[in-house]
Amino acid sequence: MDPEEQVPFSARYNDAIKCSLFLNTLSGLTQKWFDGLPNGPITYFHDFKTVFLRHFVSSRKYQKIDHCLFALKQGSAEPLRSYIKRFNQVAQDVPSVTSKILMSSFSHGLVEGEFFRDLIRDLVKNFDEMLGKAASYINVEEAQVARRKADKVPTSTNKLEKRPPQPLA
């Protein structure tokens, strides 16, 4: 192994090189911000890094923790498919979340209904199994919605319109 590879980046290069390398990565708003800095007060890369991070702190994406999963709730009229989609979008941003946490927070946010009761009656082993069980409930839920829509169609469109007979030519 090359001995230079063992030396950290910060010790391997002087501040002028680090600043130059970093400045080459700036564009758009960050370049405009840099161009607006007064000359002189920043003499070390560490100072530049501190000023940069303070200015752009609001742009930083913070890692979510598993507590944010417990804040998710299924809406009273929200379909199960929609809740699962929302839940999974948030869960993918939570690093190293366990299957047990996923199961607990997901069921905590469910509205009380047939699926919720079934999860309590017949415990599942992991989150994937829970989602598999949810699939059959989604099918039933969507079939019920389709049936209600079909029942709401006005009766006049279900029957053929009666017209008086036309004389043959």
Mean pLDDT of 56-84: 84
Rounded to whole angstroms, the maximal C-alpha distance in the chain is 102
List the CATH code of the domain at 67-152.
1.10.1200
How does DSSP classify residue 2?
-
Domain boundaries, the chain: 8-59, 67-152
Residues ≥6 apart with Cβ < 8 Å to 13 = 21
The predicted structure's pLDDT at residue 66: 80
pLDDT tens sequence across 17-42: 877 787 788 888 888 887 887 777 67
Residue 108 has pLDDT above 90, yes or no: yes
CA distances, 128 to each of 98, 135, 137 (Å): 12, 11, 15
Where residue 156 falls among pLDDT bands split at 50, 70, 90?
low
